[in-house]
Structure 1
Amino acid sequence: MSKVILSGSTGFIGKHLNKYLEGNGCSTYAISREELSASEVPFDGFFSSEQHADADAVVHLVGAAHRSFTDSEANFINLELTKKVLDRAIELGIPRFIFLSSVNIYSESDDIISLDTPIELSALPNTMKSKLSAEAYIKNAAIEHEIEVVIIRSPLVYGEGVQANFATLMRLVGKGIPLPFGAINQNRRSLVSVYNLIDLLNVCIEHPKAKNQTFFVSDDRDLSTSAMVAMMAEVQGKTNWSFFVPVFCLKLLGKLLGKQDVIERLTGSLQVDITHTKNTLDWQPPYSPEHGFRLAAKK
C-alpha cells in the first residue's frame, strides 16, 4: 500500500485523485494550495512534521493556468510553490515527485505535438513560462539529488465537477441554445477525462519506468469543436442545434471584439502524441470520452 502526499487536494483534480487513492487503500496526506501559500503561518503538516518522511511519492497538482492570474501570482503558484514542495520532499528523502504540467506550453498547431516539438517561448503567457521554469527546476533536482521525478503534460481536463469554459459550453448545449460551431469540424484537440488522468497518476506513483520521464496524457481520441458539442448534446439527451458559420467569419468577429485568443482555441488544433506514455508504462486510457462527458454533464 502506497503512502502519498497530495498537494492541491481541494482543486478539481485533487478532489478526484484523493477520493480514488483512499478508495484503493492508499494512505494520503492532503494539503491545499492555501496551506502551501501560508508560508508565514505554521501548521502541523508536510512542512512541520517528520511523520511524512516515509511517503512513497508527492503528487503536486497546484498550478495556475488561466490568463486571469497576474504575472506575480502565476510565478508564485507555478514556480515558487513547486520549489517549496519539491525542496521539502528532498529534505525528507521522499523517493518520487510527480508534477502536473500543461500541454499549453505549446502553441496551437496543425501538427501532432511530440516531446521533440520546439516550444515557442515568445508566444507563451507568463502562466506557461512559469510552468516551464518549474519543469526545469524539477529536472535539475533529479540530477543533483536522489529523487525520481515524473512530469505529466496534460491538456484540458474534464469530468464531474469541472468548471470554467468546458462547464459553460456544456450548460449552453444542455439548454438547447444554438451555437455557431457547426463549421469547426476540421480542427482536432486532445482532451483528457479526470478519470483517465487519475489512472495515469496512479500508475506513475510506483511504476519503475516512470522514473525521470516526461509524459503526455490524453483520452487518445482527439475531437473537433463541432464533435465536442455534438457529444455534449448526446450525453444530455438533447438535440444538437449547432449551425454553420464559416471559420473565417468567426476569426474576423474575434478580431473585431478583441477575442482572438478565444476564437483561436475554438478553431485551432492542439494534439499530443501519447505513444511514449503508452509504450513506456504499458498504459492505455481506460475510459472513453463519452464516459467523461456524461459525468461532466451531471448537475
Structure 2
Amino acid sequence: MIGISGSSGFIGQNLLNSLHEAKCISLREKDWKILANNCDVLVNLVGKAHDHRGTATEQDYYYINLELTKEVFHVFKESSATLLIHVSSLAALEEFESSKPLTEADECHPNSWYGLSKRAAEIWLMKQKFSADKKIIILRPPMVHGSGDKGNLGLLYKLISKGIPYPLTSFNNSRSFISMDNFCYFIEQIILHQDKLDTGIYHIADDDAVSTKDIIEIIKKVSGKRVPTLALPKLLVKAIAKVGDKVPIPLNTPRLRKMTSDLLVSNEKIKQGLGIEKLPLTAKEGLEKTIKSFSERSE
C-alpha cells in the first residue's frame, strides 16, 4: 500500500489517480498515523508554496514545510514502511537562474521563505538515523505542470488565448519543467526499483528544456490564436520592473528575473540509477498535453 500525505493538492490528486493501491493520508485527520503505519511506501507531498493572498508568515512556511515533514518522518521511522519519498523543490537549491544544468552536488542558494524552509527540511531529513531496511529519497522537481494546474502556465495560457501579446519576447531564455506524466513515472519507477537507489537527494525533470517562446508557440497552436509578437525593449522592461519594486504593479525585478532567466536542471543521476533511457513525454509533448487540458477546461 502507498500512502500519500498532502494528496489534496494538484500533484497529489494526479498521483492518486496514477498509482495503484494508493490512498490519501490527511494530516488533518486524527487517525492519519494509524493509516500511515499500514503502508509499505510513504510519499510526502505536504508543503506550502504559493501565497496568493499575501498573508503567510515565515513561521507558516517553516511549520508546514519543515515541522510537518518531521512528523511524517517520525511515523515512517516507527512504521513497517521501507521507503519514504519526500518531495522537496528545486527552490531548495536555486530559485532564479542557472545557465548550466544544476546537479545534486551544486551549492544551495535558496532565497525565499519557501526555498529556505524546503532546504531546511532536506538538511534535517539527511541527518536522521533509521534502520538499515529503510530508505529516504528526496526529490527536487522544477515547476510541475499538468491537468488541474493553476500556476503561471495557466495564466500565460489565458493571456495568449485571449489574443493578448506576451510583452517579454525580447528575452530568450531556456528552462526545465516536468510534466505530470513524467513526474508520476519517476515516482512509479522509484517505488518499483527502490533497491537501485541509495538514500539521498535526486533531481527530477523533463529530459529537455524549453523557452518561453516555445511555450507561446504551443499555446498559439492549441488555441488557434494568431497573436502578434510584442517584443518590448529589454531596457524598457527592466525600467518598468524597477518601478514595480516600489509600486504594486504586476511586474517587479524578482518576478522579471524568474520569467526571463535560464534555469536548467540535470536529471542524469536518477535516470542512471534507475536505468531510464527516455521519459514517457518530451518537454514539448508534456506542455502541449497540459495546455490542451486548459483549452478543454475553458470550453
Instruction: Please classify the TM superposition score into its range, dividing by the shorter chain length.
Output: 0.7 to 0.9
Match of 1:201 in 2: 187
Could you tell me which residue of structure 2 aligns to residue 129 of structure 1? 116
Deviations 1:204-256 (A, max 9, x none): 12311223132111111111222221222222222243311233322221111
Report Cα offsets for 1:123-171 as digits up to 9, x if no partner. Answer: x112111111111122122x44442000110001111110021111111
Q: Does 1:216 align with 2:203?
A: yes
- Number of the residue aligned with 2:243: 256
Query: Following TM superposition, by how much is the alpha carbon of 1:295 offset from its aligned partner in structure 2, in angstroms?
Result: 3.2
Task: Calculate percent identity across the aligned residue pairs.
Answer: 28
Q: Does 1:292 align with 2:286?
A: yes
Partner of 1:117: 106
Structure-2 separation of matches of 1:59 and 1:273: 22
SS of the counterpart of 1:29?
Answer: strand
| Conserved? CA contact 2:215–2:287, under 8 Å | no
- Asked whether the 8 Å contact 2:6–2:44 carries over to 1, the reply is yes
Give, in angstroms, the shift of residue 52 of structure 1: 4.7
Partner amino acid, structure 1, of 2:108: I
Residues 58 and 89, structure 1, Cα contact 8 Å, conserved in 2: yes
Residue 62 of structure 1 corresponds to: 46
TM-score, normalisation: structure 1? 0.87
Letter in 2 for 1:210: L
Q: Which residue of 1 aligns with 2:248?
A: none
Q: Kindly indicate whether the alpha-carbon contact (under 8 Å) linking 2:97 and 2:261 is maintained by their aligned counterparts in 1.
A: yes
Distance between the aligned counterparts of 1:102 and 1:133, measured in 2? Answer: 12
Question: How big is the shift at 1:54?
Answer: 4.3
Matched, 1:139 2:133: no
- SS class of match (1:133): helix
TM-score (norm 2): 0.87
Of stretches 90-99 and 104-113 in structure 1, the one that deviates more from structure 2 is 104-113
Q: Is 1:4–1:59's contact at 8 Å kept on the other side of the alignment? A: yes
Residue identity matched to 2:178: V
* Partner AA of 1:16 in structure 2: N
Please tell me whether the aligned partners of residues 235 and 293 of structure 1 are also in contact (alpha carbons under 8 angstroms): no
The offset of 1:288, in angstroms, is 2.4
- Unaligned regions of 5+ residues in structure 1, if any? none
Q: CA deviation at 1:81?
A: 0.8
SS at match of 1:89: helix
Contact 2:36 2:42 in 1 (8 A): no
Deviation at 1:112, TM superposition (A): 2.2
Contact 2:36 2:76 in 1 (8 A): no
The structure 2 residue matched to 1:77, chosen from 64, 75, 83, is: 64
Letter in 2 for 1:200: F
Mapped to 1, the partners of 2:214 and 2:40 lie a distance apart of 41
SS of the residue corresponding to residue 271 of structure 1 reads strand
Gaps of at least 5 residues in structure 2 are 246-251
Aligned equivalent of 1:160, options 140, 147, 160:
147
Query: What secondary structure is seen at the aligned counterpart in 1 of 2:23?
Result: strand
* Alignment partners' CA distance in 1, 2:188 and 2:240: 43
Q: Which amino acid aligns with 2:106?
A: T
Q: CA deviation at 1:62?
A: 1.3
Q: Distance in 2 between matches of 1:178 and 1:231?
A: 14
Report what 1:9 is aligned to.
7
Change (3 A) 1:156 1:256: same
**Alpha-carbon distance between aligned partners in 2 of 1:52 and 1:110, rounded to the nearest angstrom:** 41
Cα distance in structure 2, aligned partners of 1:113 and 1:249: 30
Q: Supply the distance in 2 between the matched residues of 1:93 and 1:227 (Cα, whole angstroms).
A: 46
